[in-house]
Structure 1
């Protein structure tokens, strides 16, 4: 930690800390830290807070086992709020939800057309199909047929993606590339590789 930073704790000696999933970028929860909680977080690598109701330190997950392992801590322009990026070892919310922000107040349907989160949702759905097969599911059919069938489909979808690009059709290329990405997701899952593994490799290459 940069000791030259002068964080601005409020008159109660607290600073709000926003927890964010390091990989998915999903906001998980908001809590408060005092100096002691921040020091313990840095010492243990597990997100630790000050409970305003119990008047004591608490490490997220010490009861449930759903620890939040800290990757990085950023602070805002006024130095009065922390952004804590974590690797969650379970749901952050006491309700069992992944995030405390699981209830929607408003969505602009015209602008809510999707983002990178859909990649994680796709991977999660493929994993769910593997663990909880559904009759008539194409994904389960691919898993039953095994790696040879999945790879055959990868080859077919790759060829169709190339043809779409050669046809100079954005719409066609978007459709075929989505098919390719879906089948690649199934292949990765079948072989025990996650998108997080890919992120690690891509990050190493970028550096």
Structure 2
């Protein structure tokens, strides 16, 4: 089991937890829209650090982005396995061809 698998499992386990006992449960209790907003905030912070060129800060912000992406997915009942399956489906397909196939 990878780190992302363990993190996704922890997030899934927190879905029904008391929001006062877990930051993840608190985020999920606020609903999918708030989870999406938080993901967006973290993505912007990662972009800023990428532009600045601070590798340590970018690494930290990238970890936050991955966490908040998984929380956002969980809020909409999309699993990491489903996302990975989609990536597997796209493997070996040209990015240009893949985008053209989306219609």
Fold similarity call, TM over 0.5: yes
Determine whether 1:197 maps to 2:69.
Answer: no
Question: When you count helix as a share of all residues, which structure comes out higher?
Answer: 2
Structure 1 unmatched runs, 5+: 1-23, 25-116
- Paired residues, what number? 92
Point out where structure 2 has 5 or more consecutive residues left out of the alignment: 93-103
Give the number of the structure whose residues are more often strand, by fraction.
1
**Bigger CA radius of gyration:** 1
Any idea what SS the aligned residue of 2:15 has? helix
- 2:45 equivalent in structure 1: 160
- The equivalent of 1:180 in structure 2 is 65
More relative contact order in 1 or in 2 (CA 8 Å, sep 6+)? Answer: 2
Residue in 2 aligned with 1:142? Answer: 27
Cross-structure match for 2:8: 123
Equivalence map 1:10-159=2 (5 Å): 24=1, 117-133=2-18, 135-159=20-44
Runs in 1 of length 4+ with deviation above 4 angstroms? none
- RMSD, matched Cα: 1.3
TM-score (norm 2): 0.82
